[in-house]
Amino acid sequence: MKFEDRTIFVDLDDTVADFRSAAEKILAKKLPPNCRGITDDEWRCIEEDRRFYFDLEIVDGGELMMSTIQTILFQRNMIGCFLSAIPANIQDKDRVCYAKSKWVNKRFPYMRTIYVPTSKDKIKFCEDGSILIDDKPDLVEAWNLKGGIGILLHNCYDVNEKLKKMFDI
Ligand SMILES: [Mg+2]
């Protein structure tokens, strides 16, 4: 299989950026792994913290997985792109996109960023053989059905091994 000219799309929140831990800290409660079910009032609370998206930690194993992705992009001349949904409940979407882009540029400057209104819109970017790494099982399934290679992320270490095997590194 030839990978050149294809894109590796990577979800941002809870795939590489640790949104959940930071949100749990602010909201003082546990969130489900997919972080669905955050109320409007809770989104307000997150938005009021102006540093929230700038200061997210990288998830465990995230640096290792991203360094493998960087190697693949360089070796195979592929494009790497974070594909991130900006939740509909967020009021100041421009500011969140700006913060997320700054976060990415500081930590992973070789990656591009695309923002979509909902996670379902990610599917629009699926081409034959393009890769999506995401923590949401329904998205990964839809990506695979459309002819892409969807990789479900439970943890970065497993995905890292999968990528190394896939690209023979
Ligand atoms: Mg996610």
Ligand 1 centre distance from Cα of residue 15 (Å):
5
Ligand 1 centre distance from Cα of residue 12 (Å):
6
Is residue 125 in some structural domain? yes
The pLDDT value given to residue 89: 82
Is residue 50 in some structural domain? no
Is residue 27 in some structural domain? no
Is residue 129 in some structural domain? yes
Q: What is the pLDDT of residues 48-100, one digit of tens each?
A: 998 999 999 999 999 999 999 999 999 999 999 999 999 888 888 999 999 99
Separation CA 150–CA 139 (nearest Å): 8
- Cβ(103)–Cβ(53) under 8 Å? yes
Q: Which residues surround ligand 1, an ion (CB under 5 A)?
A: 11, 13-15, 135
Ligand 1 centre distance from Cα of residue 9 (Å):
12
Per the structure, the count of domains in the chain is 1
Q: Which residue has the tokens 């992705």?
A: 69
Q: Which residues make Cβ contacts (< 8 Å) with residue 129, sequence separation at least 6?
A: 1, 3, 6, 147, 148, 149
Is residue 45 in some structural domain? no
Separation CA 108–CA 101 (nearest Å): 10
Ligand 1 centre distance from Cα of residue 153 (Å):
9
Is residue 150 in some structural domain? yes
Amino acid at 37: G
State the average pLDDT over residues 2-29: 92
The pLDDT value given to residue 2: 66
The pLDDT value given to residue 1: 54
Ligand 1 centre distance from Cα of residue 98 (Å):
18
Is residue 26 in some structural domain? no
Q: What is the pLDDT of residues 35-47, one digit of tens each?
A: 878 898 999 999 9
Is residue 117 in some structural domain? yes
Answer whether residue 5 shows pLDDT above 80: no
Ligand 1 centre distance from Cα of residue 77 (Å):
26
* Domain of residue 98, residue span: 7-18+58-166
Q: What is the pLDDT of residues 109-157, one digit of tens each?
A: 999 999 999 989 999 999 988 999 999 999 999 999 999 999 999 999 9
CATH of the domain at 70: 3.40.50.1000
- Cβ(80)–Cβ(7) under 8 Å? yes
